[in-house]
Homo-oligomer: A and B are copies of this chain.
């Protein structure tokens, strides 16, 4: 059984010291081990990135973009292998891993346009004979700390653009499913990144804290849970670093009485149970407006759930796979228990699901809970499992108030046919990413990803146009030439 090391200054580096098991959640077995980098190893990665910075910064943006073009090709060529690595350590079914990877590649595509995106603003004659322009210069060494649930995509939200902007990068992927991130990073080097421009260290809190405290690290991008996001943001900020830290979510869909209910059920099913609900944009609460809509929704969802298949990642016929760990499996089931205890109605119960041949896998079946209220534990906290809650509201305003009162503000959706309702909702709801009949309103790669309230700490959102601003700093040059110099000096009698 192999022990995964690090990627520093263009080469694989074996770990020293502490290690941690990596599991295959589909079987419940240990599939390998990962080194947990100590301070010295992380500092070695930072030093490599620091050393690579001056030359990389001076490489024309179009050349940096060309590495991204090649990187995209390599990602596409190795898609099957990457998806297998994702599935093995994360548990998501191959079609879901493909979707994840595609979304990641789209961010590489966007980074290919960096010469356009880096354009500054040029003003002639800000005063008589004085010009002024802005440049967006890279920061230096940038760190990314990424979660287990999108082991391939979230790193690709970060370093392609950071690097295309001229920065160098240290990535610390999740220690639960680190293999795909490392594999992908090696493809980026193969695509032409000079050694040291992209480094990967595996690790836990010790690695994270080293990144947060080292003065050579200029900025930190983080995606994870809200408590950790808050910690990361506070510590990085206190150390004078630029930071964006994305946290948890509790995404609601409002189902209006005029909604196309078949579309609601189809799209909600994917949005709630896909990837076992382990997505920060998973749709975990459906708020039906009026009992008629609620009853219809619950009836149709109940029926739909009968055909939903949970099982190992390797079987493409499954709809979703296990959750990430045994501990998390128990935590999700605990939320269902609490809902039952607090008076909600368990319409479809995923606890105790058995997958023949994979009895030790970390499975939870698709679960539907009706008559949930705002006070229940299952409503207040993020479950991060294949559990859809139904809340019943008496009006659209009441449904919107539920959303606005919740701690999180990542994504939300309104199901309706009505133009006015859509406009009112998207204008007023206190959530950063809004769908109209789109339950997973993840912005495409040329827009930016960012929740509101306690779902994001920082001024600028992830990927897209905001990422260009996050990974660069503005420099403004004001220029005046004081006297005519050579021009007036160069007066000659006409050549005869």
Chain A contact residues, CB within 8 Å of chain B:
58-62, 65-66, 69, 72-73, 106, 109-110, 112-113, 115-135, 230, 233-234, 237-238, 240, 242, 256-258, 260, 263, 289-291, 294, 392-396, 398, 416-424, 426-427, 431-438, 441-444, 446-450, 452, 454, 457-461, 465-466, 469-470, 473-487, 489-495
C-alpha gap A131/B122 in the complex (Å): 12
Tell whether, in the assembled complex, residue A109 and residue B478 are in contact, meaning their CB atoms are under 8 Å apart: no
Tell whether, in the assembled complex, residue A452 and residue B473 are in contact, meaning their CB atoms are under 8 Å apart: yes
Tell whether, in the assembled complex, residue A459 and residue B460 are in contact, meaning their CB atoms are under 8 Å apart: yes
Query: Given contacts A58-B128, A466-B474, is CB(A112)–CB(B115) below 8 Å?
Result: no
Contact of A58 among B58, B65, B125, B258 (CB under 8 A): B125
Closest 4 CB pairs of A and B: A113-B113, A420-B481, A418-B486, A120-B122
Contacts A/B (CB < 8 Å), 21 sampled: A59-B125, A61-B125, A73-B73, A112-B113, A118-B123, A119-B122, A119-B446, A121-B122, A126-B444, A257-B486, A258-B490, A417-B481, A419-B479, A419-B481, A431-B475, A432-B474, A432-B476, A434-B477, A443-B476, A459-B459, A469-B469
Query: Given contacts A417-B485, A484-B420, is CB(A395)–CB(B490) below 8 Å?
Result: yes
Contacts of A135 in B (CB 8 A): 122, 124, 426
Query: Given contacts A438-B130, A438-B479, is CB(A106)–CB(B62) below 8 Å?
Result: yes
Tell whether, in the assembled complex, residue A237 and residue B237 are in contact, meaning their CB atoms are under 8 Å apart: yes
C-alpha gap A421/B493 in the complex (Å): 19
Contacts of A435 in B (CB 8 A): 477-480
Tell whether, in the assembled complex, residue B256 and residue A481 are in contact, meaning their CB atoms are under 8 Å apart: no
Task: Apart from A69-B109, A290-B492, A441-B476, list 4 A-B contacts with CB within 8 A.
Answer: A132-B447, A135-B426, A394-B493, A441-B477
